[in-house]
């Protein structure tokens, strides 16, 4: 094959492989950030929460505390440097049938809760409904060097929360755990915090046997002594061993949509979870994992339980776990005890005999997925090593072609002037170039280069001082005389010059392509930096919105009593205005004469009205019509609105009589 064409073919293959290595990085290098983590995949979910409690007996008071699915991003106020594990947006929150307005509580760890209470009669209920849009990111941390890790400030409040103290489930003063952390895990004094954490997670995952039968949290010491436990014990033991190494660590609790790490959700996929066993819904899959803190890096998530089964959950977390709580020692209403893991949802009553039915129900639907294709893993395992191998071969071939062209040009130039040695046994070669047939083997000494070459067989060789003997070009059929014309010599020289020019041109093309690739990589890096900057700005805006919402809630809480007071004052004002209006109305005064003339007597057994006139006589007279003389039931009385007797406390009208027989009013 023509060497020139072959070199062009190899160069084309080189460019194709180079582009195949660059393009996948452009496609899948999502989320590389200044915070030393990547976001290779994420899933967006819609989460609907419905909680209902029905009172069954008596009238009972209930108190509730329910954790929210809040944002998990960096929080400068809390001093957290955190990757965006969980991006949460609350669309609505409704609580029906509460005694007072619900309020949101934030604890020392930054967790958010809905607190409310109610009084329920038998068969009455209270309900909570919330809807979230949540993006769960897969977070992976790259290899971090020693010089990128800062020094801990042991006086920081974070160490009081997550490192210095011994807790009931995290006993860092346990001698057995101290021995295990310092000796059994393989930690060396020179190891940085990340290297220590990796050795601890590997040791814990191999040391403990997973058992999903424990009903209560047992803690790190129990797990070490019994060499078994569920996700709580795996997390407790790893956290305690990290704290013994003076590395802040904390527990994260929540629930996962599956216990299969390889799960790949698809758009429209749906799950229904419930706390009620026996329904057609899936029981909650509660889970716990850990985060440990590295200065200048932040909080790094790891899952020692799932790491036991897949060995890829160190410095990595997936997109199928929802976080409810961070930390330990949680408080609840009506109870002075502390909970290491918050009981979601929490409800209690002041009546120990209270009976109720409740259900905490969660519906989860996949809105969008951003996942790598299934071909990515074989691509990384097979294509990249093969590409590197072919690149090495191509570079080697290109180098050989360049050397061969140089040797070919030298070969052609050496054939122009020849000094033929007639005597094959002459061991001295005075000329710069020589060609001769040698029988079997001979030693030839070139006095100009002061080198001795050993030749064998009857091959024709060209002796050239600059070329080592192993690279000398052999000629099988060179005649004893090979005359060249001057034109041929010039033509060959021109061809050699053209080849040199072409080689330089190809080298320039390679340099340009290398520069172009470098520019592409620089642009990609700049785009990623800009993307990370926008993500950081978005996180800051989200934090500002949260602060505004918190301030707005506080203002509403302050304004609500004022509105109540205003309503009370309005009612008092209306009442006083009515009293003033009533007092301003004219009043009638009964004269002594009228008072002496009128008196009243209780009704008799016949229930007939008997109006008594007191005119210097105690004789009782019945009502008699002055026109027709009718008496008894023929006489009826009615209110005379033209005759006002009194204005206070209300208007009192006088009465008249009317005869039913003749219609006479008197």
Mean pLDDT confidence for 28-42: 65
Mean pLDDT confidence for 257-283: 86
Instruction: Residue 299: name the closest of 113, 493, 109, 434 by CA.
Output: 109
Confidence at residue 179, expressed as pLDDT on a 0 to 100 scale: 93
Confidence at residue 204, expressed as pLDDT on a 0 to 100 scale: 95
Confidence at residue 662, expressed as pLDDT on a 0 to 100 scale: 84
SS3 390: helix
Confidence at residue 392, expressed as pLDDT on a 0 to 100 scale: 66
Q: Answer whether residue 480 shows pLDDT above 50.
A: no
Minimum mean pLDDT among 169-183, 235-249, 288-302, 427-441: which range?
A: 427-441
Q: Are 78 and 150 in contact (CB under 8 A)?
A: no
Q: Answer whether residue 610 shows pLDDT above 50.
A: no
Mean pLDDT confidence for 217-233: 92
Candidate ranges 104-113, 234-243, 559-568; pick with highest mean pLDDT: 234-243
- pLDDT band (50, 70, 90) for residue 446: very low
- pLDDT band (50, 70, 90) for residue 413: very low
Render pLDDT for 548-598 as a digit per residue (tens, 0 to 9).
888 888 887 788 788 878 888 888 888 888 778 777 666 555 556 555 555
Confidence at residue 138, expressed as pLDDT on a 0 to 100 scale: 94
**Residue 367: which H helix or E strand, with range?**
strand 356-370
Confidence at residue 660, expressed as pLDDT on a 0 to 100 scale: 80
Distance CA 508, CA 500 (A): 12
Q: Answer whether residue 269 shows pLDDT above 60.
A: yes
Q: Answer whether residue 151 shows pLDDT above 70.
A: yes
Confidence at residue 426, expressed as pLDDT on a 0 to 100 scale: 40
Confidence at residue 374, expressed as pLDDT on a 0 to 100 scale: 64
Render pLDDT for 349-374 as a digit per residue (tens, 0 to 9).
888 888 999 889 999 999 999 988 76
Distance CA 61, CA 100 (A): 12
SS3 65: strand
Confidence at residue 501, expressed as pLDDT on a 0 to 100 scale: 80
Q: How much of the chain exceeds pLDDT 70, in percent?
A: 70
Q: Answer whether residue 199 shows pLDDT above 70.
A: yes
Distance CA 359, CA 298 (A): 38
3-state helix, strand, coil in the chain (%, to 5): 35, 30, 35
Q: Answer whether residue 515 shows pLDDT above 80.
A: no
Other residues' Cβ atoms within 10 Å of the Cβ of residue 238: 29
Render pLDDT for 376-397 as a digit per residue (tens, 0 to 9).
544 455 555 666 566 666 666 6
Mean pLDDT confidence for 436-457: 43
Kindly compute the dihedral angle of the four CA atoms of residues 197, 203, 208, 209, in this order, to the nearest 10 degrees.
110
Tokens representing residue 598 in the block: 């009128």
Render pLDDT for 311-353 as a digit per residue (tens, 0 to 9).
889 999 999 999 998 988 888 887 767 777 888 888 988 888 8
- pLDDT band (50, 70, 90) for residue 539: confident
**Distance (Å) of CA 612 to CA 176, 599, 600, 616:** 108, 7, 7, 12
Distance CA 393, CA 399 (A): 10
Residue with tokens 């000094």: 419
Instruction: Residue 510: name the closest of 502, 499, 522 by CA.
Output: 502
Q: Answer whether residue 139 shows pLDDT above 50.
A: yes
Residue 190 class from Cβ within 10 Å (0-12 exposed, 13-18 middle, 19+ buried)?
Answer: exposed
Q: What is the mean pLDDT of the chain?
A: 76
Q: Answer whether residue 604 shows pLDDT above 50.
A: no
Question: What are the backbone dihedrals phi and psi of residue 50, each rounded to the nearest 5 degrees, phi first?
Answer: -130, 125
Confidence at residue 110, expressed as pLDDT on a 0 to 100 scale: 86
More confident residue, 590 or 98: 98
Mean pLDDT confidence for 201-217: 89
Helix and strand totals (H; E) in the chain: 11, 31
Confidence at residue 20, expressed as pLDDT on a 0 to 100 scale: 54
SS3 25: helix
Q: Please state the pTM of the whole predicted model.
A: 0.55
């Amino acid at each position: 094959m023509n060497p020139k064409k072959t070199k062009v073919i190899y160069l084309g293959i080189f460019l194709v492989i180079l582009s195949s290595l660059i393009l996948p990085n452009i496609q899948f290098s999502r989320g590389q950030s200044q915070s030393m983590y990547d976001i290779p995949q994420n899933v967006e979910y819609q989460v609907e929460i419905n909680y209902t409690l029905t009172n069954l007996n008596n009238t009972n008071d209930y108190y509730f505390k329910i954790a929210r699915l809040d944002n998990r991003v960096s929080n400068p106020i809390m001093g957290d440097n955190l990757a965006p594990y969980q991006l949460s947006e609350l669309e609505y929150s409704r609580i029906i049938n509460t005694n007072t307005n619900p309020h949101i509580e934030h604890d020392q760890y930054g967790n958010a809760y809905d607190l409310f209470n109610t009084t329920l009669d038998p068969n009455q209920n209270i309900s909570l409904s919330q809807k979230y849009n949540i993006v769960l990111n897969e977070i992976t941390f790259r290899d971090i060097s020693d010089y990128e890790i800062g020094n801990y400030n042991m006086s920081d409040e974070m160490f009081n929360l997550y490192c210095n103290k011994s807790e009931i489930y995290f006993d860092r003063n346990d001698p057995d755990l101290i021995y295990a952390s310092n000796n059994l895990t393989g930690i060396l004094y020179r190891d940085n915090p990340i290297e220590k954490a990796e050795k601890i997670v590997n040791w814990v995952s191999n040391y403990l046997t997973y058992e999903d039968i424990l009903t209560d949290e047992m803690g790190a010491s129990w797990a070490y002594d019994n060499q078994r436990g569920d996700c709580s014990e795996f997390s407790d033991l790893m956290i305690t061993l990290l704290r013994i190494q003076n590395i802040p660590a904390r527990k994260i609790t929540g629930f996962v949509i599956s216990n299969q790490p390889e799960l790949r959700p698809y758009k429209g996929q749906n799950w229904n979870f419930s706390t009620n066993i026996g329904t057609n819904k899936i029981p909650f899959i509660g889970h716990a994992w850990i985060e440990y803190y590295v200065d200048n890096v932040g909080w790094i998530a790891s899952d020692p339980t799932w790491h036991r089964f897949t060995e890829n959950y160190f410095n990595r977390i997936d997109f199928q776990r929802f976080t409810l709580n961070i930390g330990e020692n949680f408080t609840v209403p009506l109870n002075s005890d502390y909970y290491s893991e918050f009981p979601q949802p929490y409800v209690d009553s002041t009546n120990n005999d209270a009976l109720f039915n409740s259900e905490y129900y969660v519906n989860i639907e996949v809105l969008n997925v951003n996942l790598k294709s299934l071909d990515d893993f074989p691509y990384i395992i097979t294509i990249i090593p093969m590409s590197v191998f072919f690149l090495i071969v191509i570079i080697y071939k290109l180098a050989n072609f360049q050397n061969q062209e140089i040797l070919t040009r030298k070969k052609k130039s050496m054939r122009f002037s020849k000094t033929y040695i007639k005597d094959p046994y002459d061991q001295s070669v005075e000329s710069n170039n020589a060609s001769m047939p040698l029988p079997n083997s001979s030693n030839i000494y070139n006095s100009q280069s002061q080198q001795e070459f050993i030749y064998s067989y009857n091959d024709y060789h060209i002796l050239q001082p600059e070329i080592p003997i192993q690279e000398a070009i052999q000629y099988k059929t060179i005649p004893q005389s090979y005359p060249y014309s001057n034109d041929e010599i010039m033509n060959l020289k021109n061809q050699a010059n053209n080849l040199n020019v072409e080689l330089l041109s190809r080298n320039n093309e390679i340099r340009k392509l290398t520069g172009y690739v470098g520019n592409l990589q620089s642009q990609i890096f700049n785009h990623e930096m800009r993307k990370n900057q926008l993500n950081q700005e978005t996180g800051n805006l989200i934090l500002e919105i949260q602060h505004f919402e918190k301030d707005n809630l506080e203002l509403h809480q302050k304004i609500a009593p004022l509105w109540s007071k205003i309503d009370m004052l309005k009612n008092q004002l209306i009442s006083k205005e009515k009293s003033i209006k009533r007092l301003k109305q004219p009043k009638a005064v009964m004269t002594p004469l009228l008072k002496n003339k009128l008196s009243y007597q209780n009704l008799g057994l016949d229930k007939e009205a008997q109006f008594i006139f007191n005119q210097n006589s105690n004789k009782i007279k019945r009502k008699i019509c002055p026109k027709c003389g009718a008496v008894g039931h023929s006489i009826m009385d009615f209110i005379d609105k033209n005759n006002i007797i009194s204005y206070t406390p209300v208007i009192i009208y006088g009465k008249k009589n009317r005869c039913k027989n003749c219609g006479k009013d008197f």
